[in-house]
Every structure is written in C-alpha cells, then in structure tokens.
Chains A and B, each alone.
Chain A
Amino acid sequence: MALTQHDIDLEIAAEHATYEKRIADGAPVEHHPRRDYAPYRSSLLRHPKQPPVTIDVSKDPELVELASPAFGERDITEIDNDLTRQHNGEPIGERITVSGRLLDRSGRPIRGQLVEIWQANSAGRYAHQREQHDAPLDPNFTGVGRTLTDDEGNYRFTTIQPGPYPWRNHLNAWRPAHIHFSMFGTAFTQRLVTQMYFPSDPLFPYDPIIQSVTDDAARQRLVATYDHSLSVPEFSMGYHWDIVLDGPHATWIEEGR
C-alpha cells in the first residue's frame, strides 16, 4: 500500500522528537541533516552505516582538501547569472532577484568563488528529460545559472519564481518551491550543495527533505527573506539569502585577513 502523507508526517514528527531529546540530553546541535533520514525514502539505501573517519586538518597543512579548485571569468558568461535572458523570449512567471553573501564560519567573505543554481520553471517543471511531471515546459526558461562572488562575497541572480511540484516519495508528496545551490569555498572541505526556500511556504511541514534538517533554527537558515531593497522597480521581487559554508579551512592562517 502506498505511503500516505499521514505516514510521513508521523515519521517526521518522530525524527524531530528524537532530535529534541538528544539535545535535551546534552548532544550537540546538528546543523546538517543526518544521511539516514527515513522519511526521505531515497536515503534508505544510499547512506553509509559506518561512521565517517574524522581528519583533524590542523595537524596537516598539506592536505589536498584544504585547498579549493579555482574558477574565474572564463568559467562564466556575463549573463549566466540572469536566467531570464538565456533565450530569445521572456520566460513566464514572476521575476525575482536573489542575492546574498557567501561566508565562511568566521563570517569572512568568500571571494571570487563559483555559485551554481538550478531550478524548476514557474509551473514547477524542470527542463530535465527524466522529469515526467506534466506541467508545461517553458521554451524561454532553462533554469540554470552560475556566477562568481565579488570581493565582499556577494552573489546575485535574476530568475523566475519556481513553482512547487509533485514527486513520488509518498502519495501526494509535493516539494516546496526552491532553488538548488552549489558552492565552493576556499577549501574543498567547505563544499556545499543545498536548496533555498521562500518565506512562509505552506508545504514546509509536509516535505521530508526540508524536514531532514531537524534543528528548527538551522532549517530557518534555508529560507530566504523578502527584501524590498533588492526588489527592482517595475521588474522583480527581491530575496536575500546569505550562505555560510561549514567545514574547516586554512585561509585564516595563510592570509590573516
């Protein structure tokens, strides 16, 4: 029998209660999901059962993982951060501007690094062959962008408000509207892929992917803020979303900035 939303709701609540109990018992805050989060069914066979082996980077400045791949002006075009200008016509939907800063755990800007995004169109359809949701494709919207952060760590995209869409985790499963983000830091250890959500989405409680972040405050950090100062007159709605990369890095030792 197909899993219902109610079945998933119970599992989400149980996972949340288990986390709250761990915190009450003195366990550390968990900023990231656990990889074995059963309400997201695709995780069942794809999470390691063995704990990861910890490497203390402070003991070895020569670690490959303490450096990062470099990206530059050759790796982007001038309009790669404007997803509304990649075709001959105008895409359908509400234009949005999404901007924020890319920071490390010390609050320092990560400069000149690659930010990649991808998303569904305004109808909730990805321009991907395997996507079989029968919402319409938009010939003027692919939903892929990339940019480099500036000297203050700022990034900025112009795009279309993505739509929510159904998926087959369980019966009547719907993903809240989101934009996928991929980031590099100053160390490969800081690599991050995540999803940005929009304020007050009614689908949040039902979605096992956002709920996989069981810490309430951490989950809020995935939600952008409407920012009127980013809205462009007669053009787009503005959203602000700062990104903080986890993972140790060596930059502060090398540059002392």
Chain B
Amino acid sequence: MTKIDTSRPESVLPTPSHTVGPFYGYALPFPGGGDIAPVGHPDTITVQGYVYDGEGNPLPDAFVELWGPDPEGNLSTTDGSIRRDPASGGYLGRNGVEFTGWGRIQTDANGHWYARTLRPGARGQNAPYLSACVFARGLLVHLFTRIYLPGDEAALAGDPLLSGLDPARRDTLIAQDDGRGTYRFDIRLQGEGETVFLEFQ
C-alpha cells in the first residue's frame, strides 16, 4: 500500500494527515522564523496575535506558517528561509536581504506569536491577504485561514471570499490595526468568535 502505482490514477490516493503532536519544537521552528521582511524594508508590517482553544485558553504548543506576496503582489520563488550552516550544522538564519514570503512562528508559553513581513499586495480580484496555516498538538489536520489588513474598505468589500461570508464571521479574517504598522490577528480554533477556516477544492 505504501508504494504508489502512478500508472493507475485510481491508486494515487492521498496520504492522511496527522497531528504535529507536542514534540515538534526542536525540529520545525527555526531562528528568525517570523522575521520574513528584509531588514529595514519600508513596507514592513508586524502581525501578532494569540491562538486560543474552545475555552479561550491560549495554546503554548501551536505554530503558524505565513505565506504572502510582496507589496507589488508578486509571490516569491526565492529559497533561503531556513538557511543552514554546513560548518556547524546549525542555522545561519535569513540573509536579511531577500524576501522569501514564508515564515514559521511557534507560539510562546503565553500562546503569543508574531511576525514581521512585507505588506502584501493585491492579486487579481482579491483584497491583499496573507495565507496562514495553523498546526497544533490536538489538531489532527492543519487549518488554513487568511489575514486581511483593514483600511481599504472598497478592496475588502470586493474580495470574493469576504463578500460571501456571514458579516458576523467575516471580521474574524480582518486584522485589527494597532497603529505604527502593527496588526493584531487572533486565531480562535473553536467556539465564540471562531475564526473562519478554509478548504480548497
């Protein structure tokens, strides 16, 4: 069953998802995971928030991956997010010059995560957004959501996803402007104010 016969499409069936469990912390996170913006870039924004469970408690054992375009709406094809050091076997970190568009940020003991990235530009009919993917102990399949930034109400009103959502739930996808280029985006996995999560077909 674990050798896939690619000559027969009906035999090419997906590998099931599993939880990341509690012990990914020494494997997946890397230094500078949330420092996605090139150093000193004028379009840098800070996005931060908490991940909460169904009782409103923050998760200390979750991580968020962000993936977004540059301010012109272009998606990066540049590698180097997790540059390794062949001499020490450790991490070199990002080079601070190139924009890879992707980051991985684990929540701290308070359930808090933050990232500094570039303000995303619009693509097609969509309002600008960052794609976010949430992983946690207890979560058997990761969860996709989107982080839209407030401000351009016309763009948000014309967004194909946002315009189709119940207005009460729509706002869970729009970050709060905390000033000075800082935005707050909390992720509520369950219950009151539950974040809108996405599936792609």
Contact = CB atoms under 8 A, between A and B. Distances in A.
Contact of A223 (B1, B6, B67): B1
Given A32-B14, A118-B26, 7 more contacts: A55-B201, A62-B126, A64-B67, A64-B68, A64-B131, A70-B79, A245-B15
Interface string B135-165: 1111111111000000000000000110011
A32 B131 contact: no
A79 B15 CA distance: 27
30 contacts: A35-B141, A45-B55, A47-B139, A47-B189, A48-B143, A53-B161, A53-B196, A60-B126, A60-B160, A63-B126, A64-B123, A64-B131, A70-B78, A77-B86, A103-B6, A106-B12, A116-B28, A180-B23, A189-B200, A192-B17, A193-B135, A212-B18, A217-B1, A217-B13, A219-B16, A220-B1, A223-B1, A224-B2, A225-B2, A244-B15
Interface string B19-30: 111111111100
Contact of A71 (B81, B143, B197): B81
Contacts of A63: 123-124, 126
Interface in A179-202: 180, 182, 188-189, 191-195
A173 interface: no
A240 B5 CA distance: 13
Nearest to A69: B102
Contacts of B124: 60-63
A248 B27 contact: no
Interface string A131-147: 10000000000111000
Contact of A45 (B20, B53, B67, B201): B53
Q: Closest 5 CB pairs between A and B?
A: A72-B79, A62-B124, A42-B138, A118-B27, A69-B102
B89 interface: yes
Interface stretch (A3-11, A14-22, A122-130): A122-130
A48 B194 contact: yes
B113 interface: no
Q: Determine the main DSSP class of A at the interface with B.
A: loop
Interface of A: 31-35, 37, 40, 42-50, 52-57, 59-65, 67-80, 86, 100-101, 103, 105-108, 116-118, 120, 126-128, 130-131, 142-144, 180, 182, 188-189, 191-195, 209-210, 212-213, 217-225, 240-248
Contacts of A225: 1-3
B140 A33 contact: yes
